[in-house]
């Protein structure tokens, strides 16, 4: 079985109101989709990390052991692959949580994809932000 995770995180105003979008696919079919509002003082990068962390947690609860993670944040992908150092203190904490969550899997890989290929996760982020703004 082929499991793929698509995540996106965003913050309006950067920092500002933030949300995540998480899509999990099995053999190309969506088996989980959720957008979630996170709070008012997030940066885009914090939201991206929280999205991948949330996605890993969902996949682990489903018992998935091998996961291909697709993100449109080149910075986060390169940090998670060890190509870039994490300098920001708040991101270091989130990075450590993601690395710990990887322990629930046999194999996790991170791939940078263009925004156009991450539309559903992006839509979930914007929907969560729009819904919160209406409250």
The percent of residues in the chain predicted with pLDDT above 70, rounded, is 100
Q: Kindly report, residue by residue over 52-84, the tens digit of the pLDDT.
A: 999 999 999 999 999 999 999 999 999 999 999
SS (H, E, C) the chain: CCEEEEEEEEECCCCEEEEEEEEEEECCEEEEEEEEEEEEEECHHHHHHHHHHHHHHHHHHCCCCEEEEEECCHHHHHHHCCCCCCCCHHHHHHHHHHHHHHHHCCEEEEEECCHHHHHHHHHHHHHHHHHHHHC
The answer, yes or no, to whether residue 2 has pLDDT greater than 80, is yes
The pLDDT value recorded for residue 41 is 85
Bond into 78 cis (ω within 30): no
CA-CA distance, 6 to 121, in Å (whole number)?
6
Do 129 and 14 form a contact (C-beta atoms < 8 A)?
Answer: no
The pLDDT value recorded for residue 84 is 97
C-alpha atoms less than 13 angstroms from C-alpha of 102 in its C-beta half-sphere? 14
Domain 3-128, CATH number (from 3.40.50.2300, 1.10.8.350, 3.30.420.10, 3.30.450.40) = 3.30.420.10
The answer, yes or no, to whether residue 126 has pLDDT greater than 90, is yes
Provide φ and ψ at 64, rounded to 5°.
-70, 140
The answer, yes or no, to whether residue 1 has pLDDT greater than 80, is no
Average pLDDT of span 83-95 = 97
Domain ranges of the chain: 3-128
Mean of per-residue pLDDT scores for the chain: 96
């Amino acid at each position: 079985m082929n499991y793929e995770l698509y995540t996106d995180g965003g913050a309006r105003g950067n920092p500002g109101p933030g949300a995540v979008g998480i899509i999990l696919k099995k053999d190309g079919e969506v088996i989980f989709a959720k957008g979630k509002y996170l709070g008012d003082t997030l940066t885009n990068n914090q939201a991206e990390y929280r999205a991948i962390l949330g996605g890993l947690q969902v996949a682990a609860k489903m018992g998935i052991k091998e996961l291909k993670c697709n993100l449109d944040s080149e910075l986060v992908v390169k940090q998670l692959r060890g190509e870039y150092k994490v300098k920001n203190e708040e991101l270091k904490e989130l990075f450590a949580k993601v690395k710990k969550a990887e322990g629930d899997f046999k194999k996790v890989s991170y791939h940078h994809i263009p925004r156009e290929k991450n539309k559903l996760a992006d839509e979930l982020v914007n929907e969560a932000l729009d819904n919160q703004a209406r409250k």
